[in-house]
């Protein structure tokens, strides 16, 4: 099932990231209504439809015209809107666990997620549950131990 990770609007352009069999990038020209997608169909697909659906419901980030990449805009926005950032990272990790055979992308996402730990125990718990799956698959990766200690350690004097 395709799920929209985020939508960014910059001028008349709409950018969206859709998590399907793989992760796809969608670009829609709101002026012409034309959509492009990185899936095999290249557009006119359920990914473009899914991004439009979210956009029409107001679920998008308004970016200014000097946008560098839509993804950079998403993380800039997430830094200011922590709850939004947490939802995105959990969604991305959940998807990457199913699709990233190297473990590199998931590892990167976990490192990003660790920076979002702020004493929110629900977030830590949800992250830990996803990490258990990562740990089972990539138990022999050095990064696994690093993430485990940072995720399960007791930082800032909190008791375990």
Instruction: Work out how close the CB of 49 gets to Zn ion at its nearest, in angstroms, rounded to a whole number.
Output: 9
Instruction: Work out how close the CB of 95 gets to Zn ion at its nearest, in angstroms, rounded to a whole number.
Output: 15
Instruction: Work out how close the CB of 44 gets to Zn ion at its nearest, in angstroms, rounded to a whole number.
Output: 8
Binding mask 13-52 for Zn ion (x = CB under 5 A): ------------------------x-x-----x-x-----
User: Burial of 58 by CB count in 10 Å (0-12 exposed, 13-18 middle, 19+ buried)?
Assistant: exposed
Residue closer to Zn ion (CB basis): 54 or 144: 54
Distance CA 4, CA 46 (A): 11
Kindly report the number of other CB atoms within 10 A of residue 95's CB atom: 21
Instruction: Work out how close the CB of 33 gets to Zn ion at its nearest, in angstroms, rounded to a whole number.
Output: 16
Distance CA 24, CA 2 (A): 10
Q: How many residues bind Zn ion (CB under 5 A)?
A: 4
Binding mask 57-96 for Zn ion (x = CB under 5 A): ----------------------------------------
**In 7-120, alpha helices (H):** 46-56, 70-80, 82-99, 104-114
For residues 84 and 121, the answer to whether their CB atoms sit within 8 Å is no
Residue closer to Zn ion (CB basis): 39 or 61: 39
Token pair listed for 107: 């590892």
Binding site for Zn ion (CB under 5 A): 37, 39, 45, 47
């Amino acid at each position: 099932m395709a799920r929209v990770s985020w939508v960014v609007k910059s001028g008349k352009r709409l950018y969206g990231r859709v998590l399907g069999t793989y992760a796809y990038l969608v670009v829609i020209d709101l002026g012409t209504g034309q959509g492009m997608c990185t899936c095999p169909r290249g557009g006119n697909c359920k990914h473009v439809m899914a991004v439009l659906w979210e956009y029409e419901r107001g679920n998008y980030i308004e970016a200014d015209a000097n946008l560098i990449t839509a993804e950079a805009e998403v993380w800039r926005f997430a830094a200011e809107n922590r709850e939004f950032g947490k939802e995105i990272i959990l969604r991305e990790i959940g998807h990457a666990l199913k699709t990233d055979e190297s473990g590199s992308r998931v590892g990167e996402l976990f490192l990003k997620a660790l920076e979002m730990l702020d004493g929110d125990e629900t977030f830590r718990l949800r992250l830990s549950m996803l990490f258990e799956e990562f740990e089972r698959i990539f138990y022999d990766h050095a990064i696994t131990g690093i993430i485990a200690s940072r995720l399960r350690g007791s930082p800032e004097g909190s008791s375990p």
